[in-house]
Amino acid sequence: MTKKLLELPIPTFNHESEAHRKLATLGNQSRKKSEAVVHSGEFPIDSSVARQRAFIRTHLGAEMEEIDELVAKLLSK
């Protein structure tokens, strides 16, 4: 089975959409939080990229869950 990601019904950003604005805000918050985590003394700098990504994901759990829910709603319309 071939996945055709670009054929998903991804809507164009609409500043009037509360869901779109919330996604933008969550994305910005997640970027800032990820940057802080990377610069923390706990970040596994000498580990594999997979382990580093997992470390960041554990610190962004709540944000990622909310992003997943919003994206699921947008794609189901």
Q: pLDDT tens digit string along 20-71? A: 999 999 999 999 999 999 999 999 999 999 999 999 999 999 999 999 999 9
Gap between the Cα atoms of 43 and 55, Å rounded: 7
At 64, which helix (H) or strand (E)? Answer: helix 61-76
* pTM score over 0.85: no
Q: CB-hemisphere CA count at 13 Å for 58? A: 10
Q: Is 15 left (phi over 0), alpha (psi -120 to 50) or beta?
A: alpha
Residue matched to tokens 């596994």: 44
